[in-house]
Structure 1
Amino acid sequence: MREHPFSLGPRLRQCAAFVRPGSRVADIGTDHGYLPVWLTRRQICPHAIAADINAGPLARARETADTYRAADLVELRLSDGLAALKRDEVDDIVIAGMGGELIASILGRAPWVQDEALQLVLQPMSHPEKLRAFLYKNGFDLIREETVLDGGRLYTVMLAAFAGRALSPSLEECYLGRLGESVSPYTPAYLTRQAALLAKRKAGFSPEESERIDQVIHALAEKAAALDLKQKEASL
């Protein structure tokens, strides 16, 4: 057995940074259980639930917990999303490493997450704009977003909580979120990449839709340039 936890990669490290110290945390789709073990063994969280829809990942998570002496701190659950959890068991929920649409589906099937005291840490692997749209339309507030570079790929990590204000977000809001306030040095490159991906998706759209998309592409490029300039000035 090993006494000290391993180091997390940039993607999970940013997720951990958004978790509130002292909170009871649930990691949905835990895979190897690295995040809950790291959080509990470093005494950031007193207790964690590591949940996964498949038995294989839970077995790997159990091995991680045993290896790093966290078996009494991390509870393992076979769960389809949040189905096997109850509101009074957790304070913060992490859902990382899934597509944005799947994360939205998981949240949509658990109405009890609509609680202002509960905090969500979300890391979509694809379609972050669809996850943002779901959050806005269902009364959640995007509190903060940051980007990370991990394994040669750029990712965004979102911090959200229920605010009770259902909004009809613009296309620009769905693609930008709170990244305009990001302090990450990787955000300009991330926004530039999102603009390029959006440009590729324009084919087949009507002229009116293409014009709206062009406006979003321009807004993303402008924000990327502004953040890049701000960061360069700060480094002088």
Structure 2
Amino acid sequence: MKQYNVQVHGADFVPELPWSADSTDSVRALVANDQRDLLVLDDDEDLMEIVPQATPEVVMQRLERTPFDRLFSQMTSANEEPGDAATQASWYLLLDVAALSHADLLSTAAALVGLTVAPDSPAALAAAQQAFCWLWQTQVTAHQLLQPQGVPVLQRLLRQLREPMAVAEFQEPESCGQRSRRLVHEVLALDHQRVNVLRLPASWQLIRLAVIERQRLVTTTNHD
């Protein structure tokens, strides 16, 4: 069973809080102080890990002028029904997870599509997998997605998945793999601070960033 804690950034595994399988207090501490690292203890796996938290500036620099940045632009152009600010925030977070996890572009594109047609919903998991299967079966390459012809490809896919009842009827074929589904799972878990269900180690670096972005979103929405 995993347990969570925090420490002063750069310390040598010096927990500040009582260890707990409930990550609530640790998440709260990470958000309150940007000089804290997450500590993860897993007796089952004999794991003791110190996880520094990524900053918005570092993540932005990591994504700038990369294929992930280009993919974001392609999705923005293809999305004929622009989502709300929450959907945009999920896009950014997904690209962060994808970059840190070295995900492939096709899986990342499919995950973006899933989050777009079924925002902040478990249905996004199946939608992303369905999107990846469609891209895989039509033999679209990552290079093609990043070219001008990639925009109409993404538009067509978004339109198909936005058909009435499409999300409710998504199948979850195993043959196409699970990578896009895993990316969406991480975004939903981070968005709702469900640290205990994160599956990709890189996601632990984004806990503070995810909470800060959600708080910033709420503030911006209230001001509007």
Give me the TM-score of the superposition, normalised by structure 1: 0.28
Higher fraction of helix: 2
Higher normalized contact order (CA 8 Å, seq sep 6+, divided by chain length): 2
**TM-score, with length taken from structure 2:** 0.30
